[in-house]
Chain A
Amino acid sequence: MVELVLNIVLVLTSIVLIVLILLHRGKGGGLSSMFGGAASASLSGSSVVEKNLNRLTVFCLLVWAICVVGLGILLKV
Protein backbone atom coordinates (compact mmCIF):
# COMPACT_ATOMS: atom_id res chain seq x y z
CA MET A 1 0.00 0.00 0.00
CA VAL A 2 2.69 2.45 1.08
CA GLU A 3 4.72 1.40 -1.92
CA LEU A 4 1.88 2.12 -4.31
CA VAL A 5 1.35 5.59 -2.84
CA LEU A 6 5.05 6.35 -2.97
CA ASN A 7 5.20 5.15 -6.57
CA ILE A 8 2.30 7.36 -7.59
CA VAL A 9 3.75 10.38 -5.79
CA LEU A 10 7.13 9.67 -7.36
CA VAL A 11 5.73 9.59 -10.88
CA LEU A 12 3.73 12.77 -10.29
CA THR A 13 6.64 14.70 -8.76
CA SER A 14 8.98 13.46 -11.47
CA ILE A 15 6.75 14.85 -14.18
CA VAL A 16 6.20 18.12 -12.32
CA LEU A 17 9.92 18.37 -11.68
CA ILE A 18 10.77 17.94 -15.35
CA VAL A 19 8.20 20.54 -16.35
CA LEU A 20 9.40 23.00 -13.70
CA ILE A 21 13.03 22.61 -14.71
CA LEU A 22 12.12 23.13 -18.34
CA LEU A 23 10.26 26.27 -17.35
CA HIS A 24 13.48 27.80 -16.04
CA ARG A 25 15.19 30.05 -18.45
CA GLY A 26 18.37 28.20 -19.21
CA LYS A 27 20.53 31.25 -18.95
CA GLY A 28 24.21 30.66 -18.69
CA GLY A 29 23.32 27.02 -18.78
CA GLY A 30 25.78 24.33 -19.61
CA LEU A 31 27.72 24.21 -22.81
CA SER A 32 25.52 26.61 -24.71
CA SER A 33 26.97 29.51 -22.77
CA MET A 34 30.39 28.40 -23.89
CA PHE A 35 29.20 28.79 -27.46
CA GLY A 36 29.84 32.46 -27.81
CA GLY A 37 27.03 33.54 -25.54
CA ALA A 38 29.36 34.33 -22.69
CA ALA A 39 28.28 37.92 -22.19
CA SER A 40 24.62 37.13 -21.78
CA ALA A 41 25.02 35.31 -18.49
CA SER A 42 25.47 38.27 -16.21
CA LEU A 43 23.15 40.71 -17.91
CA SER A 44 19.93 39.98 -16.11
CA GLY A 45 19.50 39.33 -12.43
CA SER A 46 17.08 36.75 -11.15
CA SER A 47 13.53 37.94 -11.42
CA VAL A 48 10.70 37.29 -8.99
CA VAL A 49 9.29 34.63 -11.28
CA GLU A 50 12.59 32.83 -11.34
CA LYS A 51 12.90 33.04 -7.58
CA ASN A 52 9.48 31.51 -6.98
CA LEU A 53 10.20 28.89 -9.58
CA ASN A 54 13.41 28.04 -7.75
CA ARG A 55 11.52 27.63 -4.51
CA LEU A 56 8.90 25.39 -6.12
CA THR A 57 11.56 23.31 -7.82
CA VAL A 58 13.50 22.79 -4.60
CA PHE A 59 10.30 21.77 -2.80
CA CYS A 60 9.45 19.32 -5.58
CA LEU A 61 12.99 17.99 -5.56
CA LEU A 62 12.76 17.29 -1.83
CA VAL A 63 9.47 15.37 -2.18
CA TRP A 64 10.95 13.46 -5.09
CA ALA A 65 14.10 12.60 -3.13
CA ILE A 66 12.05 11.41 -0.15
CA CYS A 67 10.01 9.16 -2.43
CA VAL A 68 13.12 7.65 -4.03
CA VAL A 69 14.80 7.02 -0.68
CA GLY A 70 11.55 5.69 0.80
CA LEU A 71 11.11 3.22 -2.05
CA GLY A 72 14.71 2.13 -1.65
CA ILE A 73 14.18 1.45 2.05
CA LEU A 74 10.93 -0.41 1.36
CA LEU A 75 12.63 -2.67 -1.13
CA LYS A 76 15.39 -3.52 1.30
CA VAL A 77 13.07 -4.39 4.21
Chain B
Amino acid sequence: MLQAFAAAFRTPDLRRKLLFSLAIIAVYRLGASVPGPGVSVPAINSCLDQANSGAQQDVYSLVNLFSGGALLRLSVFALGIMPYITASIIVQLLVVVIPRFEMLKKEGQSGQAKLTQYTRYLTIALAVLQSTGIIALARSGQLFPGCAQELIPSNSIWTTIVLVISLTAGTAVIMWLGELLTEKGIGNGMSVLIFTSIAARIPAEGGAILQSRGGLIFTLVCVLAVLIIASVIYVEQAQRRIPVQYAKRMVGRRMYGGTSTYLPLKVNQAGVIPVIFASSLLYLPQLLTQLQGDSTGAVRRFVEDYLVDQTSSVHIAVYFALIIFFTYFYVSITFNPEERADDMKRYGGFIPGIRPGRPTAEYLQYVLSRITLPGSIYLGLVAVLPNFFLSVTQEGQNQNFPFGGTAVLIMVGVGLETVKQIETQLNQRNYEGFLR
Protein backbone atom coordinates (compact mmCIF):
# COMPACT_ATOMS: atom_id res chain seq x y z
CA MET B 1 0.00 0.00 0.00
CA LEU B 2 2.68 2.47 1.04
CA GLN B 3 4.89 1.24 -1.77
CA ALA B 4 2.10 1.97 -4.19
CA PHE B 5 1.89 5.48 -2.81
CA ALA B 6 5.60 5.94 -3.32
CA ALA B 7 5.30 4.60 -6.84
CA ALA B 8 2.48 7.03 -7.53
CA PHE B 9 4.66 9.89 -6.46
CA ARG B 10 7.64 8.64 -8.43
CA THR B 11 5.72 8.73 -11.69
CA PRO B 12 6.17 12.29 -12.97
CA ASP B 13 2.83 13.04 -14.58
CA LEU B 14 0.86 11.21 -11.92
CA ARG B 15 2.75 13.19 -9.29
CA ARG B 16 1.87 16.39 -11.10
CA LYS B 17 -1.79 15.40 -11.17
CA LEU B 18 -1.84 14.48 -7.48
CA LEU B 19 -0.11 17.69 -6.44
CA PHE B 20 -2.44 19.73 -8.65
CA SER B 21 -5.48 18.08 -7.05
CA LEU B 22 -4.09 18.74 -3.57
CA ALA B 23 -3.45 22.38 -4.46
CA ILE B 24 -7.03 22.82 -5.70
CA ILE B 25 -8.37 21.19 -2.53
CA ALA B 26 -6.20 23.53 -0.45
CA VAL B 27 -7.56 26.59 -2.29
CA TYR B 28 -11.08 25.30 -1.81
CA ARG B 29 -10.67 24.76 1.92
CA LEU B 30 -8.94 28.12 2.30
CA GLY B 31 -11.81 29.90 0.59
CA ALA B 32 -14.29 28.06 2.78
CA SER B 33 -12.75 29.65 5.87
CA VAL B 34 -12.46 33.22 4.55
CA PRO B 35 -15.47 35.22 5.74
CA GLY B 36 -17.53 37.07 3.16
CA PRO B 37 -17.11 40.85 2.90
CA GLY B 38 -19.13 42.63 5.55
CA VAL B 39 -19.70 39.59 7.75
CA SER B 40 -18.79 39.94 11.39
CA VAL B 41 -16.56 37.03 12.40
CA PRO B 42 -16.93 37.36 16.20
CA ALA B 43 -20.72 37.37 15.89
CA ILE B 44 -20.67 34.27 13.68
CA ASN B 45 -18.35 32.48 16.07
CA SER B 46 -20.44 33.16 19.14
CA CYS B 47 -23.59 32.13 17.29
CA LEU B 48 -21.93 28.92 16.10
CA ASP B 49 -20.86 28.10 19.65
CA GLN B 50 -24.36 28.67 20.85
CA ALA B 51 -25.79 26.51 18.06
CA ASN B 52 -23.36 23.70 18.79
CA SER B 53 -23.97 23.62 22.52
CA GLY B 54 -27.74 23.87 22.37
CA ALA B 55 -29.77 20.97 21.03
CA GLN B 56 -31.49 23.07 18.42
CA GLN B 57 -32.50 21.79 15.07
CA ASP B 58 -30.14 22.53 12.29
CA VAL B 59 -32.33 23.11 9.28
CA TYR B 60 -29.51 23.49 6.82
CA SER B 61 -27.60 20.44 7.99
CA LEU B 62 -27.15 18.73 4.67
CA VAL B 63 -26.24 21.80 2.70
CA ASN B 64 -23.89 22.78 5.45
CA LEU B 65 -22.34 19.33 5.25
CA PHE B 66 -21.89 19.60 1.49
CA SER B 67 -20.20 22.96 1.87
CA GLY B 68 -17.97 21.69 4.67
CA GLY B 69 -19.42 24.01 7.30
CA ALA B 70 -18.77 27.04 5.10
CA LEU B 71 -22.45 27.90 4.77
CA LEU B 72 -23.09 28.72 8.40
CA ARG B 73 -19.86 30.71 8.51
CA LEU B 74 -21.10 32.83 5.58
CA SER B 75 -17.70 32.49 3.96
CA VAL B 76 -17.05 33.44 0.34
CA PHE B 77 -17.46 29.79 -0.67
CA ALA B 78 -20.58 29.47 1.46
CA LEU B 79 -22.75 27.94 -1.25
CA GLY B 80 -20.19 25.30 -2.11
CA ILE B 81 -20.75 23.03 -5.04
CA MET B 82 -24.49 22.78 -4.40
CA PRO B 83 -25.74 25.20 -7.10
CA TYR B 84 -23.70 23.35 -9.71
CA ILE B 85 -25.15 20.00 -8.68
CA THR B 86 -28.67 21.37 -8.64
CA ALA B 87 -28.15 22.93 -12.07
CA SER B 88 -26.83 19.64 -13.49
CA ILE B 89 -29.83 17.77 -12.18
CA ILE B 90 -32.26 20.31 -13.57
CA VAL B 91 -30.65 20.29 -17.01
CA GLN B 92 -30.50 16.49 -17.09
CA LEU B 93 -34.15 16.23 -16.12
CA LEU B 94 -35.07 18.86 -18.69
CA VAL B 95 -33.47 16.72 -21.38
CA VAL B 96 -36.41 14.37 -20.98
CA VAL B 97 -38.94 17.20 -21.04
CA ILE B 98 -37.74 19.76 -23.58
CA PRO B 99 -37.37 18.47 -27.17
CA ARG B 100 -34.60 20.94 -28.00
CA PHE B 101 -32.46 19.66 -25.13
CA GLU B 102 -33.08 16.10 -26.23
CA MET B 103 -31.93 17.02 -29.74
CA LEU B 104 -28.78 18.59 -28.33
CA LYS B 105 -28.04 15.51 -26.29
CA LYS B 106 -28.39 13.24 -29.30
CA GLU B 107 -26.21 15.54 -31.36
CA GLY B 108 -23.10 14.17 -29.70
CA GLN B 109 -20.13 16.16 -28.59
CA SER B 110 -21.04 19.69 -29.67
CA GLY B 111 -24.55 19.33 -28.29
CA GLN B 112 -23.13 17.98 -25.07
CA ALA B 113 -20.85 21.00 -24.81
CA LYS B 114 -23.84 23.28 -25.27
CA LEU B 115 -25.73 21.48 -22.52
CA THR B 116 -22.73 21.90 -20.23
CA GLN B 117 -22.73 25.59 -21.03
CA TYR B 118 -26.43 25.86 -20.15
CA THR B 119 -25.68 24.07 -16.89
CA ARG B 120 -23.03 26.65 -16.09
CA TYR B 121 -25.36 29.59 -16.79
CA LEU B 122 -28.02 27.99 -14.67
CA THR B 123 -25.46 27.52 -11.88
CA ILE B 124 -24.80 31.25 -11.75
CA ALA B 125 -28.51 32.01 -11.73
CA LEU B 126 -29.09 29.54 -8.90
CA ALA B 127 -26.11 30.97 -7.04
CA VAL B 128 -27.63 34.46 -7.16
CA LEU B 129 -30.95 33.11 -5.87
CA GLN B 130 -29.40 31.03 -3.15
CA SER B 131 -27.00 33.67 -1.90
CA THR B 132 -29.81 36.21 -1.74
CA GLY B 133 -31.84 33.72 0.26
CA ILE B 134 -29.03 32.96 2.69
CA ILE B 135 -28.18 36.61 3.22
CA ALA B 136 -31.82 37.51 3.77
CA LEU B 137 -31.93 34.77 6.38
CA ALA B 138 -28.78 36.03 8.06
CA ARG B 139 -30.17 39.58 8.08
CA SER B 140 -33.46 38.59 9.67
CA GLY B 141 -31.63 36.46 12.24
CA GLN B 142 -33.17 33.18 11.11
CA LEU B 143 -29.89 31.57 10.14
CA PHE B 144 -29.23 30.98 13.83
CA PRO B 145 -32.59 31.07 15.56
CA GLY B 146 -32.18 32.30 19.09
CA CYS B 147 -28.93 34.12 18.51
CA ALA B 148 -29.31 37.85 18.91
CA GLN B 149 -25.99 38.94 17.40
CA GLU B 150 -25.87 41.05 14.25
CA LEU B 151 -24.19 38.82 11.68
CA ILE B 152 -23.87 41.60 9.13
CA PRO B 153 -23.20 44.80 11.08
CA SER B 154 -23.72 47.34 8.30
CA ASN B 155 -27.36 47.77 7.40
CA SER B 156 -27.00 49.41 3.99
CA ILE B 157 -28.37 47.79 0.85
CA TRP B 158 -24.93 48.31 -0.70
CA THR B 159 -23.34 45.78 1.68
CA THR B 160 -25.97 43.24 0.79
CA ILE B 161 -25.36 43.72 -2.93
CA VAL B 162 -21.61 43.35 -2.51
CA LEU B 163 -22.13 40.21 -0.44
CA VAL B 164 -24.49 38.64 -2.98
CA ILE B 165 -22.16 39.39 -5.86
CA SER B 166 -19.09 38.05 -4.11
CA LEU B 167 -20.86 34.87 -2.98
CA THR B 168 -21.96 34.33 -6.57
CA ALA B 169 -18.42 34.87 -7.78
CA GLY B 170 -17.27 32.40 -5.12
CA THR B 171 -19.65 29.79 -6.51
CA ALA B 172 -18.34 30.44 -10.01
CA VAL B 173 -14.80 29.96 -8.72
CA ILE B 174 -15.75 26.64 -7.10
CA MET B 175 -17.28 25.53 -10.38
CA TRP B 176 -14.08 26.42 -12.18
CA LEU B 177 -11.96 24.65 -9.56
CA GLY B 178 -14.08 21.54 -10.00
CA GLU B 179 -13.66 21.64 -13.76
CA LEU B 180 -9.92 22.14 -13.49
CA LEU B 181 -9.73 19.21 -11.10
CA THR B 182 -11.59 16.97 -13.54
CA GLU B 183 -9.46 18.11 -16.42
CA LYS B 184 -5.98 18.16 -14.98
CA GLY B 185 -6.23 16.35 -11.68
CA ILE B 186 -7.34 12.98 -10.35
CA GLY B 187 -10.95 11.99 -10.09
CA ASN B 188 -14.14 13.85 -10.82
CA GLY B 189 -13.80 17.41 -9.58
CA MET B 190 -17.28 17.87 -8.22
CA SER B 191 -17.33 14.68 -6.19
CA VAL B 192 -13.79 15.21 -4.91
CA LEU B 193 -14.80 18.66 -3.63
CA ILE B 194 -17.85 17.22 -1.88
CA PHE B 195 -15.62 14.51 -0.43
CA THR B 196 -13.24 17.15 0.95
CA SER B 197 -16.07 19.10 2.54
CA ILE B 198 -17.46 16.05 4.28
CA ALA B 199 -14.07 14.74 5.36
CA ALA B 200 -13.18 18.16 6.76
CA ARG B 201 -15.98 17.90 9.28
CA ILE B 202 -15.16 14.44 10.64
CA PRO B 203 -12.67 15.49 13.33
CA ALA B 204 -14.91 18.24 14.70
CA GLU B 205 -18.05 16.09 14.73
CA GLY B 206 -16.19 13.13 16.24
CA GLY B 207 -14.82 15.39 18.95
CA ALA B 208 -18.29 16.75 19.64
CA ILE B 209 -19.66 13.24 20.14
CA LEU B 210 -16.75 12.25 22.37
CA GLN B 211 -17.36 15.32 24.48
CA SER B 212 -21.11 15.21 24.76
CA ARG B 213 -21.75 11.47 24.88
CA GLY B 214 -18.63 9.95 26.43
CA GLY B 215 -16.15 7.29 25.33
CA LEU B 216 -18.46 4.29 25.13
CA ILE B 217 -20.86 5.82 22.63
CA PHE B 218 -17.92 7.20 20.69
CA THR B 219 -16.33 3.74 20.31
CA LEU B 220 -19.70 2.31 19.36
CA VAL B 221 -20.12 4.95 16.70
CA CYS B 222 -16.64 4.29 15.33
CA VAL B 223 -17.25 0.52 15.17
CA LEU B 224 -20.57 1.15 13.46
CA ALA B 225 -18.93 3.51 11.00
CA VAL B 226 -16.29 0.92 10.11
CA LEU B 227 -19.02 -1.70 9.64
CA ILE B 228 -20.98 0.64 7.37
CA ILE B 229 -17.87 1.44 5.37
CA ALA B 230 -16.99 -2.25 4.99
CA SER B 231 -20.49 -3.16 3.82
CA VAL B 232 -20.57 -0.21 1.45
CA ILE B 233 -17.30 -1.28 -0.14
CA TYR B 234 -18.51 -4.89 -0.31
CA VAL B 235 -21.57 -3.96 -2.34
CA GLU B 236 -19.76 -1.27 -4.29
CA GLN B 237 -17.32 -3.86 -5.64
CA ALA B 238 -19.95 -6.48 -6.41
CA GLN B 239 -20.59 -7.14 -10.08
CA ARG B 240 -22.26 -9.63 -12.33
CA ARG B 241 -20.05 -10.96 -15.09
CA ILE B 242 -21.82 -11.74 -18.32
CA PRO B 243 -19.66 -14.03 -20.44
CA VAL B 244 -18.85 -12.73 -23.91
CA GLN B 245 -17.30 -14.93 -26.57
CA TYR B 246 -15.40 -13.33 -29.41
CA ALA B 247 -15.24 -15.09 -32.76
CA LYS B 248 -11.92 -15.57 -34.49
CA ARG B 249 -11.34 -13.27 -37.43
CA MET B 250 -8.64 -13.04 -40.05
CA VAL B 251 -7.45 -9.55 -40.87
CA GLY B 252 -4.72 -9.76 -43.47
CA ARG B 253 -2.42 -12.49 -42.24
CA ARG B 254 -3.12 -12.01 -38.58
CA MET B 255 -5.62 -13.76 -36.43
CA TYR B 256 -7.73 -11.69 -34.06
CA GLY B 257 -10.17 -12.55 -31.33
CA GLY B 258 -11.21 -15.99 -30.27
CA THR B 259 -11.03 -14.94 -26.65
CA SER B 260 -13.73 -15.25 -24.10
CA THR B 261 -14.11 -12.38 -21.69
CA TYR B 262 -16.92 -11.03 -19.62
CA LEU B 263 -18.95 -7.88 -19.47
CA PRO B 264 -19.00 -6.64 -15.89
CA LEU B 265 -22.29 -5.18 -14.67
CA LYS B 266 -21.92 -3.63 -11.26
CA VAL B 267 -24.69 -4.10 -8.73
CA ASN B 268 -24.41 -0.43 -7.98
CA GLN B 269 -23.76 0.83 -11.48
CA ALA B 270 -24.72 4.38 -10.55
CA GLY B 271 -22.22 4.95 -7.76
CA VAL B 272 -22.91 7.81 -5.39
CA ILE B 273 -24.63 10.12 -7.86
CA PRO B 274 -28.20 9.09 -6.94
CA VAL B 275 -27.56 9.91 -3.30
CA ILE B 276 -26.10 13.30 -4.10
CA PHE B 277 -28.96 14.03 -6.48
CA ALA B 278 -31.71 12.90 -4.16
CA SER B 279 -30.41 14.94 -1.26
CA SER B 280 -29.93 18.03 -3.41
CA LEU B 281 -33.40 17.67 -4.88
CA LEU B 282 -34.91 17.43 -1.41
CA TYR B 283 -33.24 20.72 -0.68
CA LEU B 284 -34.98 22.52 -3.56
CA PRO B 285 -38.41 23.07 -1.94
CA GLN B 286 -36.59 24.43 1.07
CA LEU B 287 -34.78 26.90 -1.15
CA LEU B 288 -38.07 28.04 -2.64
CA THR B 289 -39.73 28.61 0.72
CA GLN B 290 -36.59 30.37 1.90
CA LEU B 291 -36.95 32.92 -0.87
CA GLN B 292 -40.51 33.50 0.15
CA GLY B 293 -39.12 34.82 3.42
CA ASP B 294 -42.16 34.51 5.61
CA SER B 295 -41.56 31.87 8.28
CA THR B 296 -45.15 31.24 9.32
CA GLY B 297 -46.81 30.49 5.97
CA ALA B 298 -48.66 27.22 5.59
CA VAL B 299 -46.54 26.07 2.64
CA ARG B 300 -43.34 26.67 4.52
CA ARG B 301 -44.68 24.94 7.61
CA PHE B 302 -45.62 21.95 5.47
CA VAL B 303 -42.22 21.80 3.78
CA GLU B 304 -40.37 22.09 7.06
CA ASP B 305 -42.47 19.50 8.83
CA TYR B 306 -42.50 16.89 6.12
CA LEU B 307 -39.54 17.40 3.80
CA VAL B 308 -36.81 19.08 5.82
CA ASP B 309 -37.28 17.36 9.14
CA GLN B 310 -35.15 14.25 8.83
CA THR B 311 -36.98 12.31 11.49
CA SER B 312 -40.35 12.53 9.78
CA SER B 313 -41.42 9.38 7.98
CA VAL B 314 -42.48 11.38 4.94
CA HIS B 315 -38.95 12.71 4.52
CA ILE B 316 -37.49 9.21 4.83
CA ALA B 317 -39.97 7.73 2.34
CA VAL B 318 -39.46 10.52 -0.20
CA TYR B 319 -35.69 10.32 0.13
CA PHE B 320 -35.76 6.54 -0.34
CA ALA B 321 -38.03 6.77 -3.39
CA LEU B 322 -35.92 9.53 -4.92
CA ILE B 323 -32.75 7.47 -4.53
CA ILE B 324 -34.33 4.48 -6.27
CA PHE B 325 -35.64 6.71 -9.06
CA PHE B 326 -32.29 8.41 -9.59
CA THR B 327 -30.43 5.09 -9.57
CA TYR B 328 -32.55 3.86 -12.47
CA PHE B 329 -32.41 7.25 -14.16
CA TYR B 330 -28.65 7.49 -13.95
CA VAL B 331 -28.04 3.89 -15.00
CA SER B 332 -30.28 4.40 -18.04
CA ILE B 333 -28.23 7.46 -18.96
CA THR B 334 -24.77 5.95 -18.50
CA PHE B 335 -25.36 2.44 -19.80
CA ASN B 336 -26.97 2.02 -23.17
CA PRO B 337 -27.66 -1.69 -23.85
CA GLU B 338 -28.35 -1.16 -27.56
CA GLU B 339 -25.04 0.60 -28.07
CA ARG B 340 -23.24 -2.06 -26.12
CA ALA B 341 -24.90 -4.83 -28.13
CA ASP B 342 -23.99 -3.06 -31.38
CA ASP B 343 -20.38 -2.72 -30.28
CA MET B 344 -20.23 -6.40 -29.47
CA LYS B 345 -21.73 -7.34 -32.81
CA ARG B 346 -19.26 -5.16 -34.67
CA TYR B 347 -16.28 -6.87 -33.10
CA GLY B 348 -17.71 -10.32 -33.55
CA GLY B 349 -18.67 -10.94 -29.96
CA PHE B 350 -21.71 -12.63 -28.59
CA ILE B 351 -23.15 -13.83 -25.33
CA PRO B 352 -23.34 -17.64 -25.43
CA GLY B 353 -26.91 -18.74 -26.03
CA ILE B 354 -28.16 -15.35 -27.18
CA ARG B 355 -28.22 -14.04 -30.72
CA PRO B 356 -26.29 -10.84 -31.41
CA GLY B 357 -28.12 -7.61 -32.09
CA ARG B 358 -31.51 -6.85 -30.63
CA PRO B 359 -31.90 -10.03 -28.51
CA THR B 360 -28.56 -9.22 -26.88
CA ALA B 361 -29.66 -5.68 -26.12
CA GLU B 362 -32.89 -6.99 -24.65
CA TYR B 363 -31.02 -9.51 -22.56
CA LEU B 364 -28.62 -6.85 -21.25
CA GLN B 365 -31.54 -4.57 -20.43
CA TYR B 366 -33.25 -7.43 -18.61
CA VAL B 367 -30.19 -8.29 -16.53
CA LEU B 368 -29.42 -4.64 -15.86
CA SER B 369 -32.87 -3.71 -14.64
CA ARG B 370 -32.94 -6.74 -12.36
CA ILE B 371 -29.48 -6.11 -10.95
CA THR B 372 -30.17 -2.42 -10.39
CA LEU B 373 -33.12 -3.15 -8.11
CA PRO B 374 -31.08 -4.55 -5.20
CA GLY B 375 -28.44 -1.94 -5.96
CA SER B 376 -30.90 0.91 -5.62
CA ILE B 377 -32.55 -0.55 -2.53
CA TYR B 378 -29.15 -0.96 -0.94
CA LEU B 379 -28.27 2.67 -1.70
CA GLY B 380 -31.56 3.84 -0.27
CA LEU B 381 -31.25 1.72 2.85
CA VAL B 382 -27.71 2.82 3.67
CA ALA B 383 -28.68 6.45 3.17
CA VAL B 384 -31.86 6.20 5.21
CA LEU B 385 -30.83 3.82 8.02
CA PRO B 386 -29.25 6.44 10.30
CA ASN B 387 -32.56 8.28 10.41
CA PHE B 388 -34.10 5.29 12.13
CA PHE B 389 -31.78 4.40 14.93
CA LEU B 390 -28.61 6.43 14.97
CA SER B 391 -29.80 9.24 17.20
CA VAL B 392 -26.43 9.79 18.82
CA THR B 393 -26.17 13.38 17.73
CA GLN B 394 -28.69 16.07 18.41
CA GLU B 395 -32.28 15.58 17.44
CA GLY B 396 -32.84 15.64 13.72
CA GLN B 397 -29.23 16.07 12.76
CA ASN B 398 -28.54 12.53 11.72
CA GLN B 399 -27.64 13.21 8.13
CA ASN B 400 -25.38 16.00 9.18
CA PHE B 401 -23.43 13.44 11.08
CA PRO B 402 -20.45 12.48 8.93
CA PHE B 403 -20.39 8.83 9.99
CA GLY B 404 -23.89 8.03 8.90
CA GLY B 405 -25.73 7.30 5.71
CA THR B 406 -25.35 9.84 2.96
CA ALA B 407 -21.96 11.09 4.07
CA VAL B 408 -20.38 7.64 4.34
CA LEU B 409 -21.80 6.59 0.99
CA ILE B 410 -20.42 9.65 -0.71
CA MET B 411 -17.03 9.42 0.95
CA VAL B 412 -16.49 5.72 0.28
CA GLY B 413 -17.83 5.98 -3.26
CA VAL B 414 -15.67 8.92 -4.21
CA GLY B 415 -12.65 7.46 -2.47
CA LEU B 416 -12.98 4.17 -4.34
CA GLU B 417 -13.48 5.90 -7.68
CA THR B 418 -10.47 8.13 -7.20
CA VAL B 419 -8.21 5.30 -6.04
CA LYS B 420 -9.31 3.24 -9.03
CA GLN B 421 -8.40 6.10 -11.33
CA ILE B 422 -4.96 6.39 -9.76
CA GLU B 423 -4.59 2.67 -10.16
CA THR B 424 -5.35 2.67 -13.86
CA GLN B 425 -2.74 5.38 -14.26
CA LEU B 426 -0.26 3.25 -12.34
CA ASN B 427 -1.13 0.16 -14.33
CA GLN B 428 -0.25 1.96 -17.51
CA ARG B 429 3.29 1.86 -16.20
CA ASN B 430 3.04 -1.65 -14.82
CA TYR B 431 3.26 -0.71 -11.22
CA GLU B 432 1.43 -2.52 -8.49
CA GLY B 433 -1.76 -0.71 -7.52
CA PHE B 434 -3.47 0.04 -4.25
CA LEU B 435 -6.19 -2.55 -4.60
CA ARG B 436 -5.29 -6.19 -4.95
Contacts and interface: CB of A to CB of B under 8 A. Distances in A.
Contact of A10 (B37, B40, B91): B37
A66 B305 CA distance: 42
Contact of A31 (B40, B168, B273): B273
A32 B76 contact: no
Nearest to B91: A32
Contact of B175 (A21, A28, A75): A21
Contacts of A33: 116, 182, 188
B92 A35 contact: yes
B188 A34 contact: yes
Chain A interface main SS type: helix
Contacts of A72: 34-35, 37, 41
B36 A68 contact: yes
Contacts of A43: 109
Nearest to B176: A21
Interface residues of A, number: 38
A64 to B, nearest CB: 6
B84 A30 contact: yes
A26 B113 contact: yes
Given A29-B120, A31-B190, A68-B36, A11 B113 contact: no
A68 B170 CA distance: 11
A71 B166 CA distance: 12
Given A22-B121, A68-B36, 19 more contacts: A11-B165, A18-B172, A21-B172, A22-B120, A25-B113, A26-B119, A28-B183, A29-B120, A30-B179, A30-B182, A30-B190, A32-B116, A35-B333, A41-B183, A43-B109, A64-B166, A65-B34, A68-B37, A72-B41
Contacts of A71: 37-38
Contacts of B296: none
A24 interface: yes
Interface of A: 7, 10-11, 13-15, 17-18, 21-22, 24-37, 40-41, 43, 57, 61, 64-65, 67-69, 71-72, 75-76
Interface in B1-43: 31, 34-41
Given A7-B158, A71-B37, A75-B40, A26 B165 contact: no
Contacts of B173: 17, 21, 61, 64
6 contacts: A11-B161, A22-B124, A26-B179, A27-B113, A29-B178, A30-B182
B112 interface: yes
Contacts of B63: none
Contacts of A7: 37, 158, 162
B169 A27 contact: no
B428 interface: no
B37 A17 contact: no
A71 B88 CA distance: 33
Contacts of A15: 165, 169
A69 to B, nearest CB: 6
B191 to A, nearest CB: 8
A17 B40 contact: no
Contacts of B412: none
B116 A26 contact: yes
B168 A14 contact: yes
Given A22-B124, A41-B182, A41-B183, A32 B165 contact: no
B430 to A, nearest CB: 21
B37 A22 contact: no
A13 B36 CA distance: 15
B231 interface: no
Interface string B331-371: 00110100000000000000000000000000000000000
A29 B40 CA distance: 34
B132 to A, nearest CB: 15
A30 B161 CA distance: 28
Contacts of A21: 120, 172-173, 175-176
A23 B113 CA distance: 12
Contacts of A37: 109, 112, 116
